[in-house]
Structure 1
Amino acid sequence: MYLEEAVFKHLTCSQCSKYLSISPIKVYPDRSIKCGRCGKADDGGVESQLYNLIIKDAIFSCVNSYDGCPEMRTLSTMSAHEQTCRTEEYSCQLCAAFVGSASGLYFHCKNNHPAQSLDNSEFLVDVDKDGRDIRYFYSSGRKLFFISGRYESSRSEININLSYFGKHFKGDMKYTLRFKTIEGTILYGSKQYPCSIMHQEMAEAIKYTVDTSNLPKNILICTFDVYEKPALVYNEIPSII
């Protein structure tokens, strides 16, 4: 039984915020619920037989799925997998209050920074304002990104960098950026640039000089697209273009 994406956010541990994918699952008098990673013997919790019965055949994504792991397991096999699947720690680029796993980072940003969490790959820049920092969080499926940059009104220059959080290497994740007016006129379209890989290597930022004289209402719309390098498939003859 595969669990839909919308269900996962309700099946997390009250202590570590990871999925309830390792048994035993225990409930507590304060209505908290802990996974098998966090629950201890004689800690006041009671094993939820009902939960274990209902979810025992469910297929969970690995707790490191937001970190790039594609594995999917049941309760009975997830513990063995996690022993060999390393969890990286990431810090929130919107505040200094969070350091933890990629999945924890996702829920932290959604819950604590809703105004800076993008629902789609587009954001606005008001070029009528003086120097302005640009900081957003964006998720595409289970891939996490931070958009950072700055608009300098003195030079009418904007620079943007897209950082990926996960177990990829520089060049595996790339992006393009388009600037357009609120009327939809495209002013600039970039080539593909490599994403920065957070905690590994920063890539070159995209820079663009804004012609504010032809910009309706002084609003610049920034749209980006992300491209992932296809995984290598062996035993296949590559196509020739």
Structure 2
Amino acid sequence: MAFIIPDSILETLICHACSKYLSVKPVIVYPNRRVKCGRCARSKRQSDGAVSLYGAIAEKCLFKCVNRFDGCRELLTYSQVRNHEKVCASKVYQCPICVNNHEFPTFLLVKHFNDKHRECILDVPVLFLNIDKYSETSLVYFYRLEDNVFFLHLYVSRMEELIKVNVSYLGNSKAANDITQQITMTSEKNLFEYSSKIKSCSVFGKNNDFFSIKIKNDLNSVFIKFKLIFKNLQLISVPLSTGLNNSNNSIDFNLLGISSTVVSFKPAVQTPFSRKIFLSSNFQLTFPKISLSKCNFAIVESDIIYFLHCFNCQDICWRGLSRDSLILKFYFSKKFSHSICYYCFQMLKHENKVHENDYMISNFHRDMLKNIEFYCKWNCGQTFKADYHLGHEESCELQPLQHCPEQNCNFRGTIVEIASHMVAHPGKEICAYSNFYITGLFNRNMFVFTQNEFVRITILNDSGLNISIALCEYDNKNNSKKKPIALLFDDNKYFLMTFQNSITKTEANHWIKVILID
């Protein structure tokens, strides 16, 4: 069993000699408290230090490649890193701000900006530009989205009454072509508005294809927003399965997905669909015993870490007990450091894949759960209480455009735009929740959006209640290797069964939970 080291921890595991991750053995600790990785601690003076017991833990971990900001998405075991780095070379870049043209490998360029140019780092893809400060100047801003690094390039000229703007991607040209950008500008009171065409990101260090925007001489300031659209969602996060299981000395690293051995849970790390949590100052005053975990994806009470998302379906299942109120019911295990939602727990218990004695039911106060805030999963920087993030995420401008789930339809848009577009496909609807209630009184054709995929649920009341489930296809194909499974519950939420294709039931009313497996 292995687990992916979270970024918040990985970025502290740094060799004092080469500044790479402590992902090559042996890791040596010296009397002066300096630490060297196996790339560097190979001299005769190695006897001055001691081999760290960290290696025993690292043997059970997966490391991201040190060149992840160059586009490498491999997950590597402790023993595979050295050979991988022989064929995966680090790229070198000049800092676009330093006047002495310092050159850095990519993994150090990110650190360099954090150390030397913190004022040029954007936490969200929005910038307020005070034009009055400049007669003519060029500006560069750094923006990081997960393992992707972007630069916002600006040229401002009062004399030419011109602003030029472009977003470049720190990576290879193939990945850059899979990311498109759109620039919008607005002034205060909306006296000036501009929206660019959509085009691919430039590759950092190559010729920038700027958008040129004419401005009026009396324009004092503008808000600049850049929207990034990922055609390939694997660029946003590390894929769950990698090519490593074809290597020697490998383990089956279908790590955080769902499988027939779904109970092989991992220690407390976030999943690719985890949600970052925010606790406001008012929340902390009201609930002083609750704090935020170091990874920002869990809450802590009495030194126990509680992940609010399910490690099986990777969802936060809001309507866990009641149709009328938002009660987040889940089961947590101090032994395994993970949580399971109400729906998945009932299924796993029925299939004897979990033991109830290993878990405790959550007993958090309802007001506490309603006041926890979650960041938008599209990284726009906004936070929302309880399940209000779902409504925002359907219309968030930073979400990747989705295909209409109806077969042979070429429409693309946000979830809200697709929901409005459904008038072109009568009798069909979009559902943002992966758990919902159905009744045999009506025929329904639903598209459930979960884990960035659309799943079609068809409900027909014809000589019994017929329910079918299928992953939506686009242009008669879908490269996703995931398969949808429906968990079926009765009207009182008692688990009945799972099915993958279709089923006929005599009862009229059911609860359904949709999950995706690899």
Percent of paired sites with the same residue: 28
Which residue of 2 is the match for residue 61 of structure 1? 64
Displacement after TM superposition at 1:203 (Å): 3.5
Deviations 1:129-159, CA, capped at 9 Å, x for gaps: 3223221111111111222221101122100
Aligned to 1:123: 127
- Amino acid aligned to 1:164: Y
Over 3 Å counting, the alpha-carbon distance change for 1:172 and 1:9 in structure 2 is: same
Aligned residue number for residue 42 of structure 1 = 44
- Residue number in structure 1 paired with 2:25: 23
Question: May I ask how many residue pairs the two structures share in their alignment?
Answer: 233
Contact 2:122 2:142 in 1 (8 A): yes
Q: How much does 1:185 deviate?
A: 7.0
Contact map agreement 1:127 1:212 (CA 8 A) in 2 = no
Shift of 1:24: 0.9
Q: 1:98 to 1:58 in 2, by over 3 A?
A: farther
CA distance in 2, matches of 1:229, 1:92: 28
Larger radius of gyration: 2
Question: 2:103 aligned with 1:99, yes or no?
Answer: yes
| Match of residue 199, structure 2, among 193, 202, 210 | 193
- SS across alignment from 1:226: strand
Answer yes or no: is 1:73 the counterpart of 2:70: no
Q: Deviations over 1:96-153 (max 9, x none)?
A: 4642221111111111110111111111211223223221111111111222221101
- C-alpha deviations, 1:21-63, integer Å up to 9, x for none? 1111112233221111122222355243311112221111011
Give runs of aligned pairs for residues 113-192 of structure 1, distance below 5 A: 113-129=117-133, 130-169=135-174, 171-183=177-189, 187-192=193-198
Whether the 8 Å contact between 1:22 and 1:75 is mirrored in structure 2 is yes
Q: What TM-score do the two structures reach when normalised by structure 2?
A: 0.42
Q: What SS class does the counterpart of residue 45 from structure 2 fall into?
A: coil
> In structure 1, what is the Cα distance between the partners aligned to 2:191 and 2:9?
40
Which of 221, 225, 228 is the equivalent residue of 2:227? 225
Give the gaps of 5 or more residues in structure 2: 235-472, 477-518
- What is the RMSD computed on CA atoms of the aligned residues? 2.4
**C-alpha distance in structure 2 between counterparts of 1:87 and 1:74, whole Å:** 19
User: Which residue does the alignment assign to 1:12?
Assistant: 14
- Cα distance, 1:178 vs structure 2: 0.7
Higher RCO (C-alpha under 8 Å, 6+ residues apart) = 1
Task: Please state how far the C-alpha of 1:238 moved relative to its aligned partner.
Answer: 5.5
Does the CA-based 8 Å contact 2:4-2:63 persist in structure 1? yes
Whether the 8 Å contact between 1:89 and 1:99 is mirrored in structure 2 is yes
Whichever residue aligns with residue 50 of structure 1, its letter is L
User: Is the partner of 2:209 in helix, strand or coil?
Assistant: coil
Q: Is the 8 A contact 1:25 1:34 kept in 2?
A: yes
Write the letter of the residue equivalent to 1:197: V
TM-score w.r.t. the length of structure 1 is 0.87
Report the Cα distance in structure 2 between the residues aligned to 1:41 and 1:72, rounded to whole angstroms. Answer: 28
Q: Distance in 1 between matches of 2:39 and 2:120?
A: 31
Post-superposition offset of 1:212: 4.9
Kindly indicate whether the alpha-carbon contact (under 8 Å) linking 2:10 and 2:21 is maintained by their aligned counterparts in 1. Answer: yes
The answer for the alignment partner of 2:258 in structure 1 is none
CA distance in 2, matches of 1:191, 1:167: 23
CA distance in 2, matches of 1:109, 1:135: 11
Residue 207 of structure 2, aligned match among 202, 207, 227: 202
C-alpha separation between the residues in 1 aligned to 2:60 and 2:191? Answer: 51
Residue 186 to residue 5, structure 1, CA distance change in 2 (3 Å): farther
CA shift for structure 1 position 19: 0.9
Q: Contact conserved, 2:30 with 2:50, CA < 8 A, in 1?
A: no
